[in-house]
């Protein structure tokens, strides 16, 4: 794998783990472009949907649609955040990540191909809630990805899913 920038100093892609969603594992990142539905709006990526969900105002949510992933992340840090955000943010992330892999066969097959590898959102931007930085963090995005993988592996058809 060929990776440029700071990422090359800390990513680990081996037989047991994927630490860092770069290169061939970029599809695991929320910045990977794959449409997802969230509360009646089709967003261009999980990042767009997650950041837009910080607002209860549909007009504000629609402002995220034309943005790049980086712009959506920045906008999500500038809008007024709904009062219950800390309570629901994990569930929102689970919902949009599940939709991404359920809806798109190509990324679903890649996720399933990771087998039982440990998935970690290793980063250099100090996100220790969704990922890990300097070997510290909760890796909640990685945990969600591994749970979604388990659900999809254990339920290979659409039976049992209500979207």
As a three-state string, the secondary structure of the chain is CCCCCHHHHCCEECCCEEECCCHHHHHHCCCCEEEEEECCEEEEEHHHHHHHCCCCCHHHHHCCCCCCHHHHHHHHCCCCCCCCHHHHHHHHHHHHHHHHHHHCHHHHHHHHHCCCCEEECECCCCCCCCCEECCECCCHHHHHHHHHHHHHHHCCCCCCCCC
CA distances from 153 to 112, 146, 158, 161 (A): 7, 10, 11, 13
| Distance of alpha carbon 157 from alpha carbon 133, whole angstroms | 36
**pLDDT (0 to 100) of residue 7:** 57
> 99 and 163 in contact (C-beta within 8 Å)?
yes
Looking at domain 6-10+20-152, which CATH architecture does it have? Orthogonal Bundle (1.10)
**pLDDT (0 to 100) of residue 4:** 46
CA distances from 76 to 59, 60, 98, 160 (A): 14, 10, 21, 33
The domain ranges of the chain are: 6-10+20-152
**pLDDT (0 to 100) of residue 60:** 98
**pLDDT (0 to 100) of residue 6:** 58
Query: Per-residue confidence of the chain (163 residues) as pLDDT tens digits?
Result: 444 455 556 788 999 999 999 999 999 999 999 999 999 999 999 999 999 999 999 999 999 999 999 999 999 999 999 999 999 999 999 999 999 999 999 999 999 999 999 999 999 899 999 999 999 999 999 999 999 999 999 987 765 454 4
**What contacts 24+ positions apart, CB below 8 Å, involve 125-130?**
130/93
pTM, two decimal places = 0.91
């Amino acid at each position: 794998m060929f990776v440029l920038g700071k990422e090359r100093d800390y990513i680990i892609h081996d037989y047991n783990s994927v630490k860092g969603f770069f290169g061939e594992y970029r599809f695991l990142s929320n910045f990977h472009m794959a449409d997802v539905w969230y509360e009646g709006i089709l967003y261009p990526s999980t990042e767009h949907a997650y950041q837009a969900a910080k607002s209860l105002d549909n007009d504000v949510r629609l402002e995220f649609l034309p943005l790049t992933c980086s712009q959506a992340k920045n906008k999500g840090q500038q809008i007024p955040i709904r009062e219950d955000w800390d309570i629901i943010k994990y569930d929102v992330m689970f919902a949009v990540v599940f939709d991404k892999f359920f809806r798109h066969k190509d990324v679903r097959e890649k996720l399933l191909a990771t087998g039982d590898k440990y998935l970690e959102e290793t980063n250099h931007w100090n996100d220790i809630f969704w990922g890990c930085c300097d070997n510290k963090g909760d890796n909640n995005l990685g945990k969600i990805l591994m749970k979604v993988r388990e659900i999809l592996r254990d339920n290979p058809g659409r039976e049992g899913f209500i979207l």
